[in-house]
Chains A and B, each alone.
Chain A
Amino acid sequence: MVIVSMKILVLIKRVIDYRVKIRIKPDGSWVETDNVKMSINPFDEIALEEAVRIKEKGIASEIVIVTIGNDAMPEILYGLALGADRGIHITLEHEIQSLQAAKILQKVAEEEKPDLIITGKQAIDDDANQTGQMLAALLGIGQGTFASKLEIAEGHAVVTREIDGGHNTVKLKLPAVITTDLRLNEPRYPSVPNIMKAKSKPVVKRAASEFGVDIKSHIVILNVEEPPKRKAGIKVKDTAELIDKLRGEAKVI
C-alpha cells in the first residue's frame, strides 16, 4: 500500500549565491554577507524539486518547508513558488552549527510528524555535510545520504546513493531522512503565476527559543582566512617543451 497522504518536510538554508566570489571580513571573523546576493542552497533546491515530483506523482499530499535564520523569507517564497504548500520560518539572530540546527529541526519534526524529510547533502557555505544525518540520529530514524535516485513504495524509501567507487542502494523504513546529491534531478524554475500564488501560502514565524533546546555553540571560530594562493606557472609553446619540462624540471614522469 502506497501512503497517499504522505507529508514531506523539506529543510532549506539561505546561503551566499554560488556564483558570488566570497570576501572574507578584514578582521578574519567570518565571510562578508552584507550586500551580497543570497540564494537557496543549491542542494536544498534539489530537495525541494524532488518533494514536488513526489507530490506530482500523487504519493505525497503536503510539502512543508522549514528554515532557520532571520532573513530567509525570499528563499521560503521561492520554495513555495516551486510547489511547497506552507512554510515554517524559525527566526534566530546568529549563525548556528549543524548540531544545534538538528536539535531545533528534531522538535519541528516531532510536531509535524512527516513521513519523509528531504534536505541537501551539504550547505555550500560551511560545507559541513552533517545536518541530515544528525537529525536522523536524533529522531532515531534511517538515512539515505547523497541520493541520486529516490523511490517511495509501501512504507519504504528505496534510495540509490553516490558513493566512492560507484553507487549503492538502500531500503529505508519510513519516516526517514534523505540528503540529496547533485544528480538526483534538475530543479525547475518557478513560473510567474506560481510566484504570485506563493505569496498567499501560509508561513508561520517562530523564534528558535520557543523550542526549548540548548543551542549554545560547542565551537569557537578563531579565524577565517584566504587559502594560500597558487601562483600561475609558465606557458610552454608545444608538446615537446611540455614533455621536456615534466621530465627535466618537474621530474614527475
Chain B
Amino acid sequence: MSILVIAEHNNSKLAKATLHTVMAAQKIGGEIDVLVVGKGCIDVAEEAAKISGLAKILLADDVVYENFLAENIANLVLTIAKNYTHILASATSTGKDFLPRVAALVDSSQISEIIAVISSDTFRRPIYAGNAIKTVQSKDAIKVITVRQTGFDAAPATGGNVPIEKIATTPDSGLSEFVSKDENKSDRVELTSARIVVSGGRGLGSRDNFALVEQLATKLGAAVGASRGAVDAGYISNDAQVGQTGKIVAPELYIALGISGQIQHIAGMKDSKVIVAINKDENAPIFDVADYGLVGDLFQIVPELIAGL
C-alpha cells in the first residue's frame, strides 16, 4: 500500500486537520507520503517532515497554487496519482473542493468524510446528516478519500525527520482565477480544533445578545459556534455554523446556549466528550444528548457562569 496525504495549510502553517488525516492513513497501513502544495510553503513542508511515521514529503511550490484553486491542485495531484493506492485529503472546504475532481480524473468513486477505517478497502461514513452510518467497500485501484477530522486522533506532530522532495509543477489551468479573500479576523481558537466550544442559538434573540456567548467563550478560552438558526438570523457569520451542513466539532466540552437541538445541529456536535445544554424549554431535544442540562433563562444563567468560573 502506498498512500498520499494532501496537506491542509495556509502557506505558512500546517493545519491540525492534516494530522488527523495522517492518522487515518496510518490505520490503512503502508508507506505514507505527504504532498504540500502551495506558494512559498517550504515552512509547511518542514513542519510536515517532522510528523511521525511518514516516508517523505513532496513539495510543489508555485504561484499557481497560492490560493488552492481546485482546478490547479487537481491537475497537479493527477501527475503523481498513479504512484498510489490511496489518496487522502481532509474533509475541509479545500479538500472537499478539489478531491472529487481528482477522483473523477482517475475514474475512482470518492469515499467522502470517512470516520473509521475497517480495512485497506473498507470504510465507515455518515449519511443522512449523521442519522445513519454506511460501511462501504471500494473496488477502485486508487481509493480517493476525504477524512472527517473528528473520526481520528491526531498523529504525533513530532518525532519524524523525512526528506522533502520537490516535484514538477503544472501550468495554470486558465479556467479559474482567484479574486479576493475575506477572512474572519479573530484571536479565538479555531472551531474544529478547540478544546471547548460555546455555541449560541436563536434563543439569544438578537445579534447584540449573542455577545453573551462570546463573553462566556472568552472566559473559557473557547471557540464560538452557532446553530443554523442563529446564523440565518444574522447573529454571527456563517463559518461559525455547527451542524451537518456546517462544521463538525468534537471538543472535550460543548456548551449549547439557547439551541433547541435539531437533528442537523446534533449531527455536528454529538461526538463531543461532554455536552452542556442551557435552554428555557425543558422539552428541547438538545437535552436528549446533553450530559448536563440546565432548564432556565440563559440571560440569568450565563452571567452567573461567567462570574462563577
Q: A-side interface residues toward B, CB under 8 Å?
A: 16, 21-22, 24, 31, 97-100, 102, 122, 124-138, 140-146, 148, 158, 161-173, 176, 181-183, 217-227, 230, 232-236, 238-240, 242-243, 245-246, 250, 252-253
A218 in contact with B135 given A124-B129, A137-B105 (CB within 8 Å): no
A64 to B192, CA, bound (A): 39
Which residue in chain B gives the minimum CB-CB distance to A221? Answer: B136
B273 contacts chain A at the CB level, 8 A cutoff: yes
Q: Which residues of A contact B122 (CB under 8 A)?
A: 222
User: Is A253 a contact of B134 with CB atoms below 8 Å?
Assistant: no
User: Is B273 a contact of A252 with CB atoms below 8 Å?
Assistant: yes
A98 in contact with B180 given A183-B238, A223-B135 (CB within 8 Å): no
User: Is B134 a contact of A124 with CB atoms below 8 Å?
Assistant: no
**Chain B 100-144 interface residues, beta-carbon cutoff 8 Å to A:** 100-105, 107-113, 122, 126-140
Q: Which residues of A contact B294 (CB under 8 A)?
A: 235-236, 238-239, 242
Q: Which residues of A contact B102 (CB under 8 A)?
A: 137
A242 in contact with B305 given A98-B100, A166-B239, A230-B289 (CB within 8 Å): yes
What are 15 contact pairs spanning A and B, CB under 8 A?
A31-B128, A145-B70, A146-B93, A164-B239, A168-B67, A173-B174, A182-B245, A219-B138, A220-B139, A226-B131, A233-B290, A235-B282, A238-B294, A239-B305, A246-B274
A145 to B273, CA, bound (A): 32
A122 to B93, CA, bound (A): 13
User: Is A22 a contact of B128 with CB atoms below 8 Å?
Assistant: yes
A224 to B136, CA, bound (A): 9
- B171 to chain A minimum Cβ distance, whole angstroms, is 14
A218 in contact with B304 given A133-B70, A164-B239, A173-B174 (CB within 8 Å): no
Q: Which residues of B contact A127 (CB under 8 A)?
A: 112-113, 126-129, 244
How many chain B residues touch A (CB < 8 A): the figure is: 89
A97 to B293, CA, bound (A): 41
User: Is A163 a contact of B292 with CB atoms below 8 Å?
Assistant: no
User: Is A133 a contact of B301 with CB atoms below 8 Å?
Assistant: no
Which residue in chain B gives the minimum CB-CB distance to A126? Answer: B127
Which residue of the partner chain, among A129, A148, A217, A238, contacts B96 with CB atoms under 8 Å? A129
- B188 to chain A minimum Cβ distance, whole angstroms, is 11
A51 to B129, CA, bound (A): 26
A129 to B220, CA, bound (A): 34
A253 in contact with B104 given A97-B109, A171-B179, A172-B176 (CB within 8 Å): no
B71 contacts chain A at the CB level, 8 A cutoff: yes
Which residue in chain A gives the minimum CB-CB distance to B179? Answer: A169
A117 to B309, CA, bound (A): 52
User: Is B273 a contact of A168 with CB atoms below 8 Å?
Assistant: no
User: Is B183 a contact of A242 with CB atoms below 8 Å?
Assistant: no
User: Is B104 a contact of A133 with CB atoms below 8 Å?
Assistant: yes
Which residue in chain A gives the minimum CB-CB distance to B115? Answer: A227
Q: Which residues of A contact B92 (CB under 8 A)?
A: 164
**Chain B 261-296 interface residues, beta-carbon cutoff 8 Å to A:** 263, 270, 273-276, 282, 287-296
B173 contacts chain A at the CB level, 8 A cutoff: yes
